[in-house]
Structure 1
Amino acid sequence: MKAAAMTVWIFINLLCFGMCGYLYLIWSQYWMSIERQRLFTESQDKSHRRSSAFNYQEKYTDKHDDQLLNTTYSVQKHRRSVVALKTNMFQIFNKSNRSDPPTNKIIKSRGSPRFPNLHKPILEFDSEKYECQDILTTECQIQTKEFKELMIKEFHRMLMSDAKVFVSGLDSQNPYDVKYERKSMQNIEEIMCALKSVAFRTVTANDEPFLSLGYRIPKEPLLGERVFDTCAVVTSAGALLGSRFGNFIDSHEMVLRFNNAPTENYTEDVGSKTTIRVLNSQVVAKREYKFLDDPIYKNISILIWDPSNHSSTLEDWYYNPDFQLFPVYKRLLKERPTADVHLLNPKVLWELWTVLQDSSPYRLRRNPSSSGFLGLWFSLQRCNKVRVFEYVPSVRVTRRCHYYIPASDPSCTLGAWHPLAQEKLLAERMRQNSDIDVFQRGFIDINGFNTLRC
């Protein structure tokens, strides 16, 4: 009897100690994550004290740009209300048969967030609450600061939710078998130098198996390795609808666009000039996008990307792509031998992802970076000054995914498969123009990598 009683007593004590230890682990991880978020937010605030006082007009914008901006901003508010009305009418009275834009295997996040409050959105979409009537007033500065803080908190919320500290099996969500060794970077200059050090590489005519299989890949590099003075990176964000950025965008020396985003019928808002498009492999492989026939893919430079396994060779990738782009690419090279169309070496995607993970205090999804971040990085390689439109969301942020399709989904802005939240947080840290430009007018400005001393 004594032995049995002693056994029960020991079991009860072990059970109590185990429960206490488990509760302690949960709460310690909780407060560690809160402290990590606070420190990261403080580091961002410090990095922007200089940016907030940055005299943008003297350092970046010439008089012509300033006139275009003033003309653009004076009509944006009225245009947005008209666009919103038209969009609602369209959604009520029309059933669109158009397919969703390429998103490269969107996988919705599964499992519960770490804590109940993390699933609740902080940011209010489709609201004019923070839009300024006069961007020169003190009241506008206060509104802009409040919106900026909410936007940054929203990105942190998404990152914390995706990190899933208390959800087992995160490593199983690793479809590309990514191997990663942590190297923390918080200094923005160090991060930008790390991005600069990622060499731009495309598949060449001498790479196997493309050489043996008869691919007529252009010998000249993409865009002839030209360097541009001013570059506009035009996202496909729904917030561009009604922006009247068209003339402003076209005033840049190089204009980069994404996937199948059209300019026809949207020229007033997104311009008409296109120098280069960055396409994900869905656009090339799927018939609905008419890659070989649609005029928007002709007479311009094109960079195509498709993710490989993290450790794959080019030959492995060729026989196991995400989408079957290679037969279409081979046919294009045969039909248009002078076309400036190149395939990105997939190793580049994982080198960029590594920089994103190194610069984040959270564990990121082990999926490749988005077309948007790839286009931004490429432009910084080739341009002295880069201006990106509605990448870091402004007060015009909307649930509408793309300016040319009325479909609505906040994940287009916040991220569902690509590490969008981290990409945009990093872009916000890298930018050098004022908060008014970013969050009221709707664009960020970043000096090219050639200005860095690394």
Structure 2
Amino acid sequence: MKTPRRHGVAVLLVLLMCASYFLLYNHPSFTGSSRDANDTHVGQQEHLRQPTEAAPARTTKPHPPALQGYLGIIDHKPLKMHCQTCSLVSSSGHLIGGRRGEEIDKADCVIRMNDAPTARGYSRDVGNRTSLRVIAHSSVQRVLRNRNELLNSSGDTVFIFWGPSMYMRRDGKGLVYNNLRLMKQVLPKLKVYIVSLQRMLQFDELFKKETGKDRRISKSWLSTGWFTMTIALELCDRVNVYGMVAPDYCR
């Protein structure tokens, strides 16, 4: 009688254990934690599989190229300047009454010559802005006389002075060169550049190539308009010229 009883007790214990495992497996906390663990594991795998987005590249404005042959009066460093569109305004009186000032000022850079004015009622015809002013050695004194208009209120204007080598010598005997150094010392923020001797010789060669004449043999002088036009073609992608007369204007 004892053996069947023990056998029945063992069977009962097995049934109770099975029932306990069944209830534990179906309990909400057990299934929820298992699913959360599975979801976390899957989420980690998906996160690892996601490609990392590349950081956007920082765009920096490129520095303007150096224009060889135009040197700072003090440090002798080359001029760094570039313009997409330029208005080259001549010093003639052909623009008077034309009211082209607003159109001229719309260009990226406005180029003027010598002591050509922008104030005194001329702005409506020739504009207000000046980005670059090309000045001959013979016009330095006139520029100094009008320094309140041309120099003191110049802002970011770049000044390029040209002249014969005897006036631009750096050994203390160049009259124009000495005056320009003094000007820079008095007005340290002024952007003063000169045309180097090597660049002047290149201008002579260009003149001979374009006209067939040797400048020295023919005793010709290059005008400020010649220098300004050549500099503008180096400096600008596109040049609009204002007030320049036709070659046969005086014929």
**What TM-score, normalized to structure 1?**
0.35
Residue matched to 1:381: 234
2:144 to 272, 285, 290: 290
Residue matched to 1:52: none
User: How is 1:28-427 mapped onto 2 (pairs within 5 angstroms)?
Assistant: 200-203=68-71, 217-218=74-75, 221-222=78-79, 225-264=80-119, 265-284=121-140, 286=141, 288-290=142-144, 293-297=147-151, 298-299=154-155, 300-308=157-165, 314-315=169-170, 319=173, 321=174, 324-361=175-212, 365-393=218-246
Equivalent pairs: percent with the same residue? 23
Contact 1:305 1:344 in 2 (8 A): yes
- 2:207 aligns to what SS in structure 1? helix
Whole-angstrom distance in 1 between the partners of 2:72 and 2:124: 38
Contact 2:71 2:77 in 1 (8 A): no
Whole-angstrom distance in 1 between the partners of 2:81 and 2:186: 25
Gaps of 5+ in 1: 1-198, 206-216, 398-409, 415-454
Gaps of 5+ in 2: 1-66
1:280 is displaced (CA, Å) by 0.9
Contact 1:231 1:252 in 2 (8 A): yes
Query: In structure 2, do the counterparts of structure 1 residues 283 and 362 end up closer, same or farther at CA, with 3 Å as the change threshold?
Result: closer
Structure with the larger strand share: 2
User: How is 1:430-441 mapped onto 2 (pairs within 5 angstroms)?
Assistant: none
Whole-angstrom distance in 1 between the partners of 2:233 and 2:179: 29
- 1:307 aligns to what SS in structure 2? coil
1:341 is displaced (CA, Å) by 0.7
Query: In structure 2, do the counterparts of structure 1 residues 315 and 377 end up closer, same or farther at CA, with 3 Å as the change threshold?
Result: same
Larger Rg belongs to: 2
Contact 1:304 1:344 in 2 (8 A): yes
- 1:229 aligns to what SS in structure 2? strand
Number of aligned residue pairs:
179
Query: In structure 2, do the counterparts of structure 1 residues 245 and 219 end up closer, same or farther at CA, with 3 Å as the change threshold?
Result: same
Which amino acid counterpart does residue 393 of structure 1 have in structure 2? A
- 1:294 aligns to what SS in structure 2? helix
Residue matched to 2:25: none
Deviation readout 1:226-257 (Å, 9 max, x if unpaired):
22110011001121222221111111000010
1:261 is displaced (CA, Å) by 0.6
Residue matched to 2:26: none
- 2:160 aligns to what SS in structure 1? strand
Whole-angstrom distance in 2 between the partners of 1:325 and 1:252: 31
1:347 is displaced (CA, Å) by 3.2
Which amino acid counterpart does residue 373 of structure 1 have in structure 2? W
Deviation readout 1:276-301 (Å, 9 max, x if unpaired):
111111222x3x54358332123221
Deviation readout 1:316-349 (Å, 9 max, x if unpaired):
7x62x5xx32332122221222321111113323
Whole-angstrom distance in 2 between the partners of 1:281 and 1:249: 26
1:359 is displaced (CA, Å) by 2.6
Contact 1:349 1:369 in 2 (8 A): no
Structure with the larger helix share: 1
Which amino acid counterpart does residue 290 of structure 1 have in structure 2? L
Whole-angstrom distance in 2 between the partners of 1:271 and 1:313: 31
Query: In structure 2, do the counterparts of structure 1 residues 367 and 244 end up closer, same or farther at CA, with 3 Å as the change threshold?
Result: same
RMSD: 3.0
Contact 1:307 1:368 in 2 (8 A): no
Contact 1:357 1:363 in 2 (8 A): yes
